[in-house]
Structure 1
Amino acid sequence: MEYVVSSIDLAHSETASNKPSIIILQLDTPGGLDNAMRGIIKRILSSDIPIVGYVYPKGARAASAGTYILYATHIAAMSPATNLGAATPVQIGLPQTPSDPDTQNNEANTNSAMERKIINDATAYIEGLADLRERNREWASEAVLGGASLSAIDALEANVVNIIADDIDDLLKQLNGYSFMSNGQQITFNTNDATIVEVSANWRQELLSVVGNPSIAYILILAGIYGLIFEFSNPGGGVIGVVGAVCILTALYGFQVLPINYAGLALILFGLGLMITEAFSPSFGVFGVIGAVSLSIGSVILVDTPEPAFQIAWPIIVSVAIVSIAFVFLTFSMLFKSRQQKIVSGVETLLGETAEIESIQEETILARLHGELWQVKAKAPLKLGDKVVVSSISGLMLNVIKKSEH
């Protein structure tokens, strides 16, 4: 939305001598959020510069929200092999939870009433746009109520669009001399020797378009969380932690333009928490498996819309689940192996080792072990040269057993 609205604002900010006579809005979209769509349409309707909506290039579409936007433009154009329609709104909300039959009936009635309100509102909205631009009102209603779609040729025949053009040059050629009524005034285009100025997205808008991709935002937030986990478990220079925090904030920036289901996000965080618990407090894989399942379910329902363009790619979800499970079990196996290995550091390494009595002075008995002299204590009498085995350690005192007794 920001790119479209800011581009229209930029055209209106030009001086009178440089002000464009036409704005061509190129469309190729599977749809979008209702708030973004209405923001774009409001700016189009308030524009005193005629806006031509053009579904381009060949193979493009103006589906769902794109249909409303095309209806709002002063002139609607399409290139061959394009289509529009399927404008039925999709309600976004939390997933339903099981309940008793009476509650389910009440919820079904409430949901049906809410769906009717949303669809009726959308129908009235697009019919108002159709009346404003004197286009096919009946088909606009059918696009919302029945999800109808039209090809470019059919749309022209049904008075849904005004022009079919092969490219921008062909569009400008057909617009030359074209007249239409706007706000009670007749406007006639003069596109002879027209100069085309393309308005490109700035770096911020390009960044938003990238991180607004559900799959990219999903990978960023997982990478960020894993980065923070690694930093907290192995404090160091802080670089990985900082990178993780940047990834999370960038993902949240992208999520603002997506229909996020917060129950899905909570399941993802819960699953990661269980896998972390498994890594640090092994439970024979129970927490890890449940965590991976929770992560997978949360990933599937994270973006709450049936539009394929806004879904997280299945291969990415499956890959993340497999990698997460592999990480948990790899960590568990390493911990298990480490517990089976012989201790190689600390005073515990002395247990079971053999020492030799080297000095006996009254009640002080010293034995040499690993090149060091230790004070030892034994129940049986000891003499110089006796071999003893360390049975336990009490501070700096070794409790030993005479080897002949061991």
Structure 2
Amino acid sequence: MVRWLLSRLLCLAMLMPGALLAAGSVTVLTVDGPIGPASADYLNRGIEFAEKEKAQLVVIRIDTPGGLDTSMRSIIKAILASPVPVATFVAPSGARAASAGTYILYASHIAAMAPGTNLGAATPVQIGGMPGQPDRDKPGEDKDGKKDDKAGQASNEETLTRKQINDAAAYIRGLAQMRGRNAEWAERAVRESVSLSATDAQRLKVVDLLAHDVHDLLAKLDGRTLEIAGQKITLATKGAPLVQREPDWRTQILAVITNPSVALILMMIGVYGLIFEFSNPGSGVGGVIGGICLILALYALQLLPVNFAGIALILLGILFMAAEAFMPSFGIIGFGGIAAFVVGAVILIDTEVPGYGIPVALIVTVALSSALVIFAILAMALRARRRALVSGDAGLVGSEAILLDLLEGDPRSGWVQLQGERWRVHSDAPLRSGQRVRVLARNGLLLDVTADEHPPKGD
């Protein structure tokens, strides 16, 4: 009877709101680098994995300089919809959760930092430039009251910047209010790009706690009660088994191909491979490699914030450089293609988010390599232009051959083998089999020859 009563009381306690005990493992995910399509895919699938495995907590260990807005919002949507509580932990010491990382930290059920870390600087980067434009006396007019197109353009850019900042400020304020964190400082992080150290962040109630590592974090979270989907859950994380879910091969490949530099190189290889295949059909190597690289490049560019004018200029530049090989213009088309490629590569990525630019060194290297290829094509074209013809009538006249046999009854006619073909020859003087002859002229299918009285040395 006592056991029956205890079991019933225990079941009743577990069903009461605020007394539901979380049980299970803790899934640990790691983000080290810019927030992009690869990290968004990795975190979204990691949260889904934790839900399927009935984990009691997801810990996102993060160290990021920021990232893309679309990827950041995808991660935040997954966190907000997760039935498993998510703790974002800025670690190890020296790490940061800047820009997009600050939003993710605010969206998480638990925000924690390691000593020596920082967060903030959450101002969105304006496409095409940084926020803030020079002051004007009057938008759209110069000092003399005349219309100023540049001033009007600056005014439009300022309006766009204000819209972006106001949207970002409202977004992070909403996240702060949802999690009961410091909304005023969150808005300052967006509008003024301010940052905080770990200690100051805890003092200002921007984060919930400080911890040295994941084990210390779990020990401090043990017994904490969270509200998930209208239901209160008490964590039991002390000594809970950890499931380290590292990025798999799919995430690693996605991270590589969505690197802007790699995407640019893949596109170059793809276009050159197809051009090689079209100019030398039948080999298949250029078509296969070029097709695969071009598809991967287009997929990567679809996920990246690209400037389509940049893509168009790059493709135009590559086509111009390839056209130089087919219709030599002494470098005019080729070097024009290099100029178009360089300009397109510079403006290809339409954002200034850290980690998503194309290094100038890579652009210069690719441009110089293309210039060397064009120089090589020009050199080969000039050598071919100066070389004597070795085919057709020009190739036959002056060539030498051995008389294979004579025609019956005509000692001045016979047969020779030239350029892989059998030719009938005629001479004004009698000939003999095995004699070396030189071609003087061609008359249709008949070659006029003469006996070669001075055979080459060594014969």
Query: TM-score if structure 1 supplies the norm length?
Result: 0.83
Alpha-carbon separation, structure 2, partners of 1:226 and 1:83: 45
Q: Aligned AA for 2:41?
A: E
Aligned residue number for residue 309 of structure 1 = 355
Q: Aligned AA for 2:61?
A: Q
Q: Does 1:11 align with 2:46?
A: no
Q: Does 1:22 align with 2:57?
A: yes
Aligned residue pairs, count: 381
Aligned residue number for residue 265 of structure 1 = 311
Deviations 1:236-259 (A, max 9, x none): 331331111111111222223211
Alpha-carbon separation, structure 1, partners of 2:127 and 2:342: 20
Change in Cα spacing, 1:369 to 1:181, as seen in structure 2 (3 Å) is closer
Deviations 1:35-85 (A, max 9, x none): 221122122122232210111233322221111111100111122332222
Q: Does 1:119 align with 2:154?
A: no
**Are the aligned partners of 1:180 and 1:188 in contact in 2 as well (CA < 8 Å)?**
yes
Alpha-carbon separation, structure 2, partners of 1:216 and 1:303: 12
**Are the aligned partners of 2:273 and 2:289 in contact in 1 as well (CA < 8 Å)?**
yes
Q: Does 1:164 align with 2:210?
A: yes
**Are the aligned partners of 2:173 and 2:186 in contact in 1 as well (CA < 8 Å)?**
yes
Unaligned runs of 5+ in 1: 95-100, 360-364, 377-382, 401-406
Query: Share of identical aligned residues, percent?
Result: 48
1:2-401 aligned at under 5 Å gives the runs 2-14=41-53, 19-92=54-127, 102-179=148-225, 187-351=233-397, 373-374=424-425, 384=429, 390=440, 395-396=444-445
Alpha-carbon separation, structure 1, partners of 2:383 and 2:273: 25
Q: Aligned AA for 1:243?
A: I
Q: Higher mean Cα deviation, 183-192 or 341-350?
A: 183-192
Aligned-residue offset at 1:321: 0.8
Q: Aligned AA for 1:264?
A: G
Structure of higher RCO (CA pairs closer than 8 Å, 6+ residues apart): 2
**Are the aligned partners of 2:424 and 2:446 in contact in 1 as well (CA < 8 Å)?**
no
Alpha-carbon separation, structure 2, partners of 1:149 and 1:367: 96
Q: Helix, strand or coil for the counterpart of 2:340?
A: helix
**Are the aligned partners of 1:354 and 1:369 in contact in 2 as well (CA < 8 Å)?**
no
Alpha-carbon separation, structure 2, partners of 1:189 and 1:58: 25
Aligned-residue offset at 1:187: 5.0
Unaligned runs of 5+ in 2: 1-39, 130-146, 407-411, 431-436, 450-459
**Are the aligned partners of 2:64 and 2:95 in contact in 1 as well (CA < 8 Å)?**
yes
Q: Aligned AA for 1:36?
A: S
Change in Cα spacing, 1:88 to 1:268, as seen in structure 2 (3 Å) is same
**Are the aligned partners of 2:169 and 2:191 in contact in 1 as well (CA < 8 Å)?**
yes
Aligned-residue offset at 1:11: 1.9
Change in Cα spacing, 1:123 to 1:394, as seen in structure 2 (3 Å) is farther
Alpha-carbon separation, structure 1, partners of 2:443 and 2:340: 47
Query: TM-score if structure 2 supplies the norm length?
Result: 0.74
Alpha-carbon separation, structure 1, partners of 2:241 and 2:321: 59
Q: Helix, strand or coil for the counterpart of 1:259?
A: coil
Q: Helix, strand or coil for the counterpart of 2:244?
A: coil
Deviations 1:4-62 (A, max 9, x none): 12221222233xxxx22211112222222222211221221222322101112333222
Q: Aligned AA for 2:68?
A: L
**Are the aligned partners of 1:217 and 1:251 in contact in 2 as well (CA < 8 Å)?**
yes
**Are the aligned partners of 1:366 and 1:375 in contact in 2 as well (CA < 8 Å)?**
yes
Aligned-residue offset at 1:271: 0.6
**Are the aligned partners of 2:83 and 2:229 in contact in 1 as well (CA < 8 Å)?**
no
